[in-house]
Amino acid sequence: MKVMLDTNVILDVWLAREPYWRDAAQLVGSIERKEMEGFVCPTTITTLHYLGKKVLGEDRIRKLLANLLKIFQVGDISSQVFEQALESKIHDFEDAVIEAVSVGSGVDVIATRNTKDFKKSKIPAREPIQLRKGDQ
């Protein structure tokens, strides 16, 4: 199974955000063990850097990003992806970009805590705990 992690799922792990981080960390662990293929959206990487450096500092966030790039595949992005996002039924543009990158990358499911934001997505969205338990 190919799974795209929403930005919030990675931040949950990195910032140990209660009560979400444990389920998110178990999902990341499944990806590290190659039980499923993990993807991130290219815009997620820049967002993680921007938000993470404020809390964790530049050196720490760069190390985390380097590790992330070893574990996850980065979905492809192009002007077509942005055009598709603009046409998406998803109202939040960042989420629409994640959806478009997921479609282009052949992703099966989007892991997010905000499944309601992806109700109109072409790719189903599940919470990390649902994927961790294999409840797809």
Per-residue pLDDT of the chain (136 residues; tens, 9 = 90+): 999 999 999 999 999 999 999 999 999 999 999 999 999 999 999 999 999 999 999 999 999 999 999 999 999 999 999 999 999 999 999 999 999 999 999 999 999 999 999 999 999 999 999 996 544 4
- Predicted TM-score (pTM) of the model is 0.92
pLDDT at residue 132, as a whole number: 61
The domain locations on the chain are 2-132
Out of 3.30.1490.20, 3.40.50.170, 3.40.50.720, 3.40.50.1010, the CATH code matching 2-132 is 3.40.50.1010
Q: How far is CA 54 from CA 21, 32, 58, 61, 110, in A?
A: 19, 26, 8, 9, 26
As a whole number of angstroms, the distance between CA 118 and CA 97 comes to 11
